[in-house]
């Protein structure tokens, strides 16, 4: 997993909780990297899991809620870091439909060894999108947070229903998105 994910997670922890929490979290976790992350480095996915579980234990917030909040945080950071991804789309569905065929291609140019989830989108009608998420990492809650924050970025209200097709592993999830109000 790319280091930018770790550095952004720790940034979120510092902003939402405190820098002392970041230090406590790293010091209290057994991390092969020692918790020294660079945005261009590559680290084991399990280290992120260890950090999220450790944060959950210290804050009493559920792991899925923390991962979801991290997805929301990431979208806000992506808007700042990659504004052209967002300015080229007029609404959330247009943007989400471009994730696999445009955004991920550009990300792979920056990080050729990045292991990204896959997304397949279908649009049964103008106000409905089915977005199929697949990843061996099972971070569907992260994707859900990204989707919610994306809708907010475009000023839209989108109802999200989640269908886990992987028996609870969260490795294959279909997001049923229904636009309830446009900007």
Instruction: Please give the chain's pLDDT, 183 residues, in tens.
Output: 989 899 999 999 999 999 999 999 999 999 999 999 998 899 999 999 999 999 999 999 999 999 999 999 999 999 998 899 999 999 999 999 999 998 889 888 888 888 899 999 999 999 999 999 999 999 999 999 999 999 999 999 999 999 999 999 999 999 999 999 765
Say which residues have a Cβ less than 8 Å from residue 49's Cβ, sequence separation at least 6.
none
Say which residues have a Cβ less than 8 Å from residue 168's Cβ, sequence separation at least 6.
none
Could you tell me how far CA 71 lies from the centroid of its own chain?
4
Q: Given the DSSP bridges, would you call strands 172-181 and 157-164 parallel, antiparallel or unpaired?
A: antiparallel
**What does the alpha-carbon distance between residue 31 and residue 150 come to, in Å, rounded to a whole number?**
32
Q: What pTM was estimated for this model as a whole?
A: 0.93
Q: Which fold has domain 84-181?
A: H-NOX domain (3.90.1520)
CA-nearest of 150, 143, 149, 130 to 90 is: 150
- Give residue limits of the domains in the chain: 3-61, 84-181
């Amino acid at each position: 997993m790319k280091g930018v994910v770790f550095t952004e997670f720790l940034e979120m922890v510092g902003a939402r909780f405190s820098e002392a929490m970041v230090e406590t979290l790293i010091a209290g976790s057994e991390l092969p990297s020692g918790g020294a992350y660079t945005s261009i480095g590559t680290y084991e996915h399990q280290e992120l899991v260890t950090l999220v579980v450790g944060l959950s234990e210290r804050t009493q917030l559920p792991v899925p809620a923390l991962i979801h909040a991290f997805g929301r945080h990431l979208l806000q950071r992506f808007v700042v870091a990659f504004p052209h991804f967002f300015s080229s789309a007029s609404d959330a569905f247009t943007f989400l439909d471009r994730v696999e065929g445009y955004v991920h291609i550009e990300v792979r140019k920056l990080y050729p060894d990045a292991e990204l989830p896959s997304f397949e989108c279908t649009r049964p009608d103008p106000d409905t999108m089915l977005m199929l998420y697949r990843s061996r990492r099972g971070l569907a809650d992260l994707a859900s947070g990204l989707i919610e924050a994306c809708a907010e970025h475009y000023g839209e209200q989108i109802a999200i229903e989640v269908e886990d097709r992987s028996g609870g592993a969260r490795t294959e999830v279909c997001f049923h998105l229904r636009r309830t109000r446009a900007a």
